[in-house]
């Protein structure tokens, strides 16, 4: 189900998840009535149900095959905070979020302002800390998490997702960089766990 930013549910959502190989390839699909602006054909649109382009620049939103994805690159944390705080998102449920080559520093609690994601990728963003509730609205929806640090970042960096066990749907986790030692994971549905160039585990 897509949930609008006003809390109104639209349609019935069905998630199809496929683990195709050890390299972790996912397919996400949503079944729901198509927006009128889409002409009922599942075609790509750049407006509804995406936000207005100008409101999220330099991020871009893509609506394709009944799934929303958001990509942000080459900006800074303050700009991203302003986008998520002020842009009007017609729907709050996204299939994926990718943020790359940004200067973020600290991924703050509540930064995404109620949006939920099934897959998130943070690539080369100078993220030194992820606060405990930065992704808490995705605790029951997040299936895949990827974070990669730039090779010139000095470690150790704070381990992301400090409240790991709260992410009850998480099945794939990939981390690349000089991060703190891995904490105890406890019970977890994770089937794919990838660590590269991290510091020695506890």
**pLDDT tens, residue by residue, 88-113:** 999 999 999 999 999 999 999 999 99
The pLDDT value recorded for residue 19 is: 36
The pLDDT value recorded for residue 163 is: 82
Q: Which phi and psi angles does 173 have, rounded to 5°?
A: -135, 125
Flag whether pLDDT at 125 surpasses 90.
yes
Q: How far apart are CA 178 and CA 169, in angstroms?
A: 26
Q: Which residues are CB-neighbours of 169 under 8 A, at least 6 positions away?
A: 140, 141, 142, 143, 189
Is the separation of the CB atoms in 114 and 134 below 8 Å? Answer: no
Q: How far apart are CA 139 and CA 118, in angstroms?
A: 9
Reported as a pLDDT band with limits 50, 70 and 90, residue 46 is low
Q: How far apart are CA 63 and CA 89, in angstroms?
A: 13
Q: What is the mean pLDDT of the chain?
A: 78
pLDDT per position as a tens digit, 139-185: 999 999 999 987 556 667 888 887 888 899 999 999 998 887 777 77
pLDDT per position as a tens digit, 18-30: 333 333 333 333 3
Flag whether pLDDT at 32 surpasses 70.
no
Q: How far apart are CA 41 and CA 102, in angstroms?
A: 35
Q: How far apart are CA 74 and CA 45, in angstroms?
A: 23
Q: Which phi and psi angles does 21 have, rounded to 5°?
A: -165, 180
E-strand spans in 34-76? Answer: 60-64, 67-73
């Amino acid at each position: 189900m897509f949930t609008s930013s006003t809390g109104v549910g639209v349609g019935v959502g069905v998630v199809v998840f496929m683990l195709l190989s050890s390299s972790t390839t996912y397919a996400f699909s949503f079944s729901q009535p198509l927006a009128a602006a889409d002409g009922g054909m599942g075609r790509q649109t750049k407006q509804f149900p995406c936000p207005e382009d100008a409101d999220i620049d330099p991020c871009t939103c893509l609506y394709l095959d009944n799934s929303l994805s958001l990509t942000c690159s080459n900006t800074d944390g303050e700009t991203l905070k302003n986008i998520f705080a002020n842009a009007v998102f017609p729907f709050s449920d996204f299939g994926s979020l990718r943020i790359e080559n940004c200067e973020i520093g600290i991924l703050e609690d509540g930064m995404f302002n109620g949006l939920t994601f099934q897959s998130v990728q943070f690539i080369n963003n100078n993220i030194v800390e992820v606060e405990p509730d930065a992704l808490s609205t995705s605790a029951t929806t997040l299936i895949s998490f990827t974070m990669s640090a730039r090779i010139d970042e000095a470690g150790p960096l704070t381990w992301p997702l400090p409240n790991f066990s709260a992410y009850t749907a998480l099945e794939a986790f990939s981390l690349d960089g000089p991060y703190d030692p891995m904490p105890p994971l406890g019970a977890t549905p994770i089937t794919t766990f990838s660590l590269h160039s991290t510091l020695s585990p506890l």
